[in-house]
Chain A
Amino acid sequence: MDLHELFLSALKDLSSAEKQLVKALPKLVKATVSPPLRAAFQSHLEETKTHVSRIQQAFESLGAKPKSVLCKGMQGLVVEGDAHVKQDAGDVFGDLALLGAGQRVEHYEIAAYFSAISMAKTLGYGDAANLLVENLQEEQRASDLLRKLSKPILKQAAATAEKKKG
């Protein structure tokens, strides 16, 4: 394996990760109670569809055929998210669990994009690098938004827990 092949394999992994997310996010949207959190998942679903498209463009910029190879890391995160949808969703605590699942996904993707962009830059693949940078920036913004939205939900969860105790 050389660096070029390693980069293509990172692209295939990212392609799979984003495609899995396109399927998983609608379940989170449906299961979320908080309207702003639901809107955040919905809008990130739209962004994620664009991410799949940009990864395809990154392949094409190298004269390579777009391909996906199963990303097991994302598969695991999606399985965990599904479990929260089935077992926990429906109240403020369920929302917190879904928010946590979303944050794990964003952090995982951010790490994967950092690694892939670094390789693209080393190889001098300017277009591929910048297409992935656009995806990375949207993942970072999504992560920031989830962090911001967690504050009122945490507050509400604490108040609800206190009420239950009393």
Chain B
Amino acid sequence: MPSISKSITKAPGVGSVNGTRKKVNEPIADRPRPSELITRIHTPTNLESNFASLTAAETPNRSLFVRDHFPLPKIIKSEWRLQVEGAVEKMLSLSLKDLEAMPSATHKSVLECAGNGRMFLPNVPEGVQWGLGAVGCVAWTGVPLRDVLALAGIQSNAVEVVLQGADYGAPEKPLKPKNKIHFARSLPLSTAQRPDVLLAYQMNGQPLTAAHGAPLRIIIPGWYGVAAVKWLTHIEVVRAPFHGYFQTVEYAYWKDNGTHPPERIPITQIFLKSQISRPFMHERVQAGKTYQVTGAAWTAEHKIKSVEVSTDGGKTWERSNLKEEPSDHAWQLWEWTWKPRSPGKYTLMSRATDSRGEVQPAEHDENHESYLIHHTLPVTVQVV
């Protein structure tokens, strides 16, 4: 287990719980805590960040959520190699030093688990029941994937790039291969050629930590975290689309096509979303005093145009202030001043609109199963 989780684990096999809790109706998932991360599942490691402590445009490395599917692989940095193979002119075997010697790029982007917010879905959909904290925004540094592909030379009949990590094990769902598998995902060649798709070895200017995929992970800005394969060891250029477990059985959904039957498609691009960081769920807020409602909004390929806030469960909306200039793939912090007049229970919501006019939906799309939870999420507070 990575060392970051040790400090917050109370007893072996038991989730971290803060004993100072007083009010029974205050859910721990969203309140400020002394710890940076909350253990959700011990094996494999799944740690959630505390979204209520969001203050900076970049998530500190120690606070970024961790989503593992298999046990942490043991990697000896000096022996590690990145193999580039398949439909290429020349196979490559690169060390970290080889990659660090190539021209690098830095790009800030949101990393969100495709199941972030699962706590807000009814019943018990499979997977970690994330609250608001399976998301962060990081400045990633690394070599553009296209530069490495250019070194290898892509054959003309190639269509996709398959990225495989060193993590390895038996997947959870009943529909799975007989033998253990490595974590792997693919992306179309057109995406692999984007200059901002990075073979990242640094996060926020520091080397990647083991928990976040050291020595190398792929970062596809605007795509969900599942595509950001950690502990990368193999890049295979393929001549036919890849249909691996983590983009068919898990991390896929039924897309309604209207005129012809629905299709199962892999989860890739992040859906437009905003979240409230303060107040946290069931926070007690003083009547007659001003309160800064804060949060973040993000989307893929487009810019956040506005974020509105409702204090009456979505009946009426007020426009918030965006705190900085919109940028590609990074999240947009926002704030709105609230002065609740009278005591009582209030349901707050935030709703983002992007530059093409798309608005966050009011309800979860059941075709998305327990993924892509990007509808307006309620935060219930008590004004006293």
A residues sitting closer than 8 Å to B (CB atoms) are 4, 50, 53-54, 57, 60-64, 113-114, 117-118, 121-131, 133-134, 136-137
Question: Are the CB atoms of B29 and A117 closer together than 8 Å?
Answer: no
> Which among B14, B22, B27 is the interface contact of A124 at CB below 8 angstroms?
B27
CB within 8 Å for A118 and B27 given contacts A130-B129, A133-B129, A134-B41: no
Q: B22 — which chain A residues lie within 8 A by C-beta? A: 63
Nearest 4 CB-CB pairings of A with B: A126-B29, A124-B27, A127-B28, A50-B13
Question: Are the CB atoms of B27 and A114 closer together than 8 Å?
Answer: no
Q: Mark B1-43, 1 if CB is under 8 A from A, else 0.
A: 0000000001111111101011111011110000000101110
CB within 8 Å for A4 and B25 given contacts A118-B122, A130-B128, A133-B129: yes
Asked if B123 is an interface residue, CB under 8 A from chain A, the answer is yes
Question: Are the CB atoms of A130 and B15 closer together than 8 Å?
Answer: yes
Considering the complex, give the chain B residue whose CB is closest to the CB of A47.
Answer: B13
Question: Are the CB atoms of A137 and B38 closer together than 8 Å?
Answer: no
Q: Mark B239-260, 1 if CB is under 8 A from A, else 0.
A: 0000000000000000000000
CB within 8 Å for A126 and B27 given contacts A53-B13, A57-B10, A57-B17: yes
Q: Mark B358-384, 1 if CB is under 8 A from A, else 0.
A: 000000000000000000000010000
The dominant DSSP class at the A interface is helix
Question: Are the CB atoms of B27 and A123 closer together than 8 Å?
Answer: yes
The dominant DSSP class at the B interface is loop
- Give A4 to B27 CA distance when docked, in angstroms: 12
A-B pair count, CB < 8 Å, reads 95
Q: B29 — which chain A residues lie within 8 A by C-beta? A: 124-127, 129-130
Asked if B131 is an interface residue, CB under 8 A from chain A, the answer is yes
Question: Are the CB atoms of B129 and A54 closer together than 8 Å?
Answer: no
Asked if B148 is an interface residue, CB under 8 A from chain A, the answer is no
Question: Are the CB atoms of B13 and A125 closer together than 8 Å?
Answer: no
Q: How far is the CB of B236 from chain A (nearest CB, A)?
A: 31
Q: A117 — which chain B residues lie within 8 A by C-beta? A: 124, 129
Question: Are the CB atoms of A127 and B124 closer together than 8 Å?
Answer: no
Q: A123 — which chain B residues lie within 8 A by C-beta? A: 25, 27
Question: Are the CB atoms of B17 and A127 closer together than 8 Å?
Answer: yes
Asked if B281 is an interface residue, CB under 8 A from chain A, the answer is yes
Q: Mark B153-176, 1 if CB is under 8 A from A, else 0.
A: 000000000000000000010000
Question: Are the CB atoms of B13 and A126 closer together than 8 Å?
Answer: no
